[in-house]
């Protein structure tokens, strides 16, 4: 994983941790796995799934009773991301504040990453 020793690869706010823990308990899951996939108008989308087991190559971030699992292919794209949970009059949901995003579509559901991420040499 792309990490700085002593620091988690992603941070989880207290609001997000509370929501993740609540949903984990409701679904009797091992954690919330986050990842990225191709899609949307900007090129990539976040994925979020509650899963029954931790995979061997998942990066695990525990915050209280909440557990976030970062899928192996997403680790380089999510390094430094803050995961929050926001509630407003019109909507509630998880928000990703990701320093690796260089562009997003108008609806905020699709993102574009720096094209140099994941390239070597």
Over residues 15-48, the pLDDT tens digits come to 999 999 999 999 999 999 998 887 766 577 888 9
The predicted pLDDT at position 115 comes to 64
The answer, yes or no, to whether residue 86 has pLDDT greater than 90, is yes
Look at residue 41 in the predicted model and tell me its pLDDT: 66
Name residues whose C-beta falls within 8 Å of residue 71's C-beta, 6 or more positions apart in sequence: 33, 34, 35, 36, 47, 55, 58
pTM: 0.79
Task: For the chain, list the domains and their CATH numbers.
Answer: 10-113 (2.60.300.12)
The three-class DSSP label of residue 21 is helix
């Amino acid at each position: 994983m792309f990490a700085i020793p002593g620091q988690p690869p992603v941070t989880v706010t207290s609001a997000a941790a509370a929501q993740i823990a609540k949903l984990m308990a409701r679904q009797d899951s091992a954690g919330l796995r986050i990842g990225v996939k191709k899609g949307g108008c900007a090129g990539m989308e976040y994925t979020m799934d509650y899963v029954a087991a931790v995979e061997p190559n998942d990066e695990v971030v525990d915050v209280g009773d909440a557990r976030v699992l970062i899928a192996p292919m997403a680790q380089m794209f999510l390094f430094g991301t803050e995961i929050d949970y926001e509630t407003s009059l019109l909507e509630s949901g998880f928000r990703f504040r990701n320093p690796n995003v260089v562009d997003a579509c108008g609806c905020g559901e699709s993102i574009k990453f720096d094209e140099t991420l994941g390239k070597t040499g």
